[in-house]
DNA sequence: GAGTGGTCTAGACCACCGT
DNA sequence: CGGTGGTCTAGACCACTCC
């Protein structure tokens, strides 16, 4: 069994379910915090923590003196900022997602790879080239590189998610930094993605991080423009004090 | 004067300053929560809330039983997910940012604009076309549309930030949903951005939302690829319960 | 086993909204 | 003014890490 869930998680999940099933429609007002606490048999602090989680992800809004309300434009769940899995994004768009292995091998880390992964130059890296398809059509071509020691023996022919491989090796990916650049398809890239030369593509250079923000994998990806929508939930940055001098 | 800051904010800002000024270098361990509470003269709950804010934005990590540590790869501050201002992104990249007005006017909302803004079709919208430059070079061309009633009289010639105009009108932009698509430059777009036809561009269709996630402005933007880096901090989505049936 | 973060409670008082 | 969220305290016990 996995870990027992906390009162906060149970309450958050319950509220989340009630948002989805229409108990609290968009724009409606929730019971006040004292009442929610009494109903759920927990303290108000616990209610606040559960509600805060849903406020931060954009499902609820709070107005001091007025109440807690269901947000009017619920956020996308499978967006670039909130997920690291393209397969789930493709499935979320209602299409059948598949992963095709193009090539794989072991290579020595270049200077820049080594720096990005915080390993010594020359460290052996596993490199995996794959294509993701949506309803059979190529939509993402990627080259992933990760230290060979993270890949258990016998898993070198990667057909499944590299995130799962990393998680089993104790390096669960918890976030990433991604750099976006538009490019045009040419040569081998155009052939692999089955598009014409000159077709616009979105290129993403990404560093995957574990929960301590330690780098565990590098990804270079090329996305076909109109295959599925790439969405980003943007949030206003909190005001920050000026850096000290 | 604006509102007095809370103990949580003061502590968070103090810790943030100490991260930047090297008091706590990357990877180092912070004092434990009881000690931070005693030093700051607040309760442990207050410390936890301040630290939680910095954990969520990626500056600190916590390990139960071990301690609280400074993250090893500090997040980018001016990234797509954490900011809505391109001028600050350009300045963050060390370049001089300017805003040039191309055209503006009033038009009736189309069906799709009206739906996205949650107003009646035909509602009068202010439309503003502008170019942002970095060190004098065009890097973003945008068309923004917002209900005319949000724009105070005498501010129709927008030279400054539309976000400031909206904030003064009581519609502070607090977040946005953005759709990313790679395209290639052609015709007028290529001329305005001073790039050759066929140059890859990043197209962003965006809905700006207020703190209640009510739509307040629509933006269509085209970004020159190599002008400044577009970065996204990605986070693994929390596990969610399956929707009820 | 000592240290540290994770969870939760009960209660207090303040700030703001709307009637 | 009553109702509601915003902030904060003091204390308790649990779960995990590391020596």
pLDDT-derived band at B245 (thresholds 50, 70, 90) equals very low
Catalogue all structural domains in chain A, each as residue range(s) with its CATH number: 7-70 (1.10.10.10), 86-224 (3.40.1410.10)
Q: What is the pLDDT of residue B5?
A: 78
Contacts of B9-12 spanning 24+ positions with Cβ under 8 A = B9/B50, B11/B36, B11/B40, B11/B42, B11/B46, B11/B47, B11/B50, B12/B50, B12/B51, B12/B53, B12/B54
Name the residue among A163, A146, A169, A160 with its Cα closest to residue A217.
Answer: A146
> Is A138 in contact with A107 (CB distance < 8 Å)?
no
- By C-alpha distance, the chain A residue nearest B242 is A17
Torsion, Cα of A149, A154, A158, A162 (10° steps): -40
Q: Does residue B215 carry a pLDDT above 50?
A: yes
Q: Does residue A2 carry a pLDDT above 70?
A: no
Q: Which nucleotides of C are covered by protein (CB under 7 A)?
A: 2-12, 15-18
Mutate to test the interface with B, among A45, A64, A75, A182 (most CBs of B within 10 A): A182
pLDDT tens track for A70-112: 998 887 777 887 777 788 888 888 889 999 999 989 999 999 9
pLDDT tens track for B41-95: 999 999 999 999 999 888 999 999 999 999 988 877 677 877 777 888 888 788 8
Q: Provide the shortest C-alpha distance from residue B107 to chain A (in Å).
A: 25
B65 is near strand C: CB distance < 7 Å: yes
Q: What average pLDDT does chain A have?
A: 86
Mean pLDDT along residues B221-231: 83
Mean pLDDT along residues A114-138: 91
A212 is near strand C: CB distance < 7 Å: no
> Residues with Cβ < 8 Å from B123, sequence gap 6 or more?
B108, B109, B114, B117, B147, B148
Instruction: Say how far A77 CA is from C13 C1', in Å.
Output: 38
Residues in A closer than 8 angstroms to B84, CB to CB, are 234, 236
Residues in A closer than 8 angstroms to B13, CB to CB, are 240-241
* pLDDT higher at A114 or B168: A114
Instruction: Say how far B144 CA is from C15 C1', in Å.
Output: 36
Q: Provide the shortest C-alpha distance from residue A153 to chain B (in Å).
A: 27
B113 is near strand C: CB distance < 7 Å: no
Q: Does residue A242 carry a pLDDT above 50?
A: no
Task: Look up residue B154 and give its two tokens.
Answer: 């005498």
Instruction: Say how far A165 CA is from D19 C1', in Å.
Output: 31
Q: What is the pLDDT of residue B109?
A: 93
Q: Which nucleotides of D are covered by protein (CB under 7 A)?
A: 2-12, 15-18
């Amino acid at each position: 069994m996995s870990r027992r869930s906390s009162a906060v998680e149970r309450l958050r999940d319950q509220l989340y379910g009630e948002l989805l099933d229409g108990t609290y429609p968009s724009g409606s007002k929730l019971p006040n915090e004292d009442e929610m606490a009494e109903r759920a048999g927990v303290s108000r602090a616990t209610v606040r923590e559960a509600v805060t989680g849903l406020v931060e992800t954009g499902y609820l809004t709070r107005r001091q003196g007025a109440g807690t309300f269901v947000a009017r434009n619920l956020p996308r769940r499978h967006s670039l900022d909130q997920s690291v899995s393209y397969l789930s994004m493709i499935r979320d768009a209602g299409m059948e997602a598949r992963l095709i292995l193009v090539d794989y091998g072991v290579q020595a880390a270049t200077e820049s790879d080594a720096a990005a992964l915080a390993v010594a130059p020359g460290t052996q890296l596993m490199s995996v080239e794959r294509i993701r398809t949506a309803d059979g059509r190529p939509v993402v071509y990627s080259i992933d590189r990760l230290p060979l020691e993270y890949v258990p023996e016998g898993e070198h022919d990667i057909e499944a998610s590299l995130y799962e491989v990393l998680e089993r090796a104790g390096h669960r990916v918890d976030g990433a930094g991604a750099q976006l650049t538009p490019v045009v398809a040419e040569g081998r890239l155009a052939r692999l993605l089955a598009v014409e030369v000159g077709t616009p593509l979105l290129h993403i250079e990404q560093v995957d991080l574990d929960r301590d923000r330690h780098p565990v994998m590098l990804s270079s990806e090329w996305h076909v423009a109109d295959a599925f929508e790439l969405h980003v939930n943007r949030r206003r940055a909190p005001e920050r004090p000026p850096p000290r001098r």
